[in-house]
Amino acid sequence: MGKKIYLIRHCAAEGQASEAKLTKEGEIQAEELAQFFKDMRVDRIISSPFQRALQTIQPLAAIRDIQIEMDDRLAERILSSENLVDWQSKLMETFSDLDLTFPGGESSRDAIKRIVSVVEDIFLSEEENTIIVTHGNLLSLFLHHIDETFGFDEWKALSNPDVFLVREGEVEIQRLCGDKMQAYW
C-alpha cells in the first residue's frame, strides 16, 4: 500500500506571527481534526514550530500519545521582512517566478526545497503514515512543485484547516474533505 503523508494547513489563527495562537474557532477545528483522524493509522507527527501549527495537532497527539516532532523546515515562508502593501500581488508573482525574492524574503524555490526535504526524509524513514502540519504558503508551494497548475488562485482557495494526502510512489495528491476523500485534480 505504501507510505502516506497527510499534509495539514493549520487551523484558524489570530495572526501570522510565529507566536500567534489559534482562535476559539481554530481550537474547535483542532478537536474536529483529531476526530477526523481517529480511525486512521498515524505513526508520526511532524510540525512547524509556530504556535498555531502545534496547537492544531496537539489534540490528536494527546489522543494517540504521539510526541510531536518540531521541524524548522516547516515554518511558514517569509515573503519579505518589509511590510508589502501589495503583498498578494507579490505572492502571485512568486508562483510564476520561483527565484523571485523580495527584501529579507525567501524565494519560492528555496521554500520548496525545505518542504521537499522533509517529505524525502519521511519516505526514507520506517514509519508508514506521517502527519505534517505547516502553513498555507509553504503547503501550496509543495503542491505547486507536484503540479504546476496549483498556483495563487488555489492558494487563495485553501481553508483553515486543510488536509492533503500524498501516497508513496504516486504523483497525484488528494485533498481530503470532511469525511470523504475526493481527487483534487
Instruction: Inform me whether the pLDDT recorded for 175 exceeds 90.
Output: no
Instruction: Inform me whether the pLDDT recorded for 141 exceeds 80.
Output: yes
59-70 mean pLDDT: 96
The whole-number pLDDT of residue 168 equals 79
CA atoms within 13 A on the CB side of 61: 19
Q: How far, in Å, are 4, 61, 79, 99, 181 from residue 158 at the CA level?
A: 21, 24, 18, 23, 16
What domains are there in the chain, each with its CATH number?
A: 4-183 (3.40.50.1240)
**Average pLDDT of the chain, as a whole number:** 90
Reported as a pLDDT band with limits 50, 70 and 90, residue 23 is very high
The whole-number pLDDT of residue 58 equals 98
Altogether, the residues listed in the chain come to a count of 185
- Structure letter (DSSP) for residue 172: -
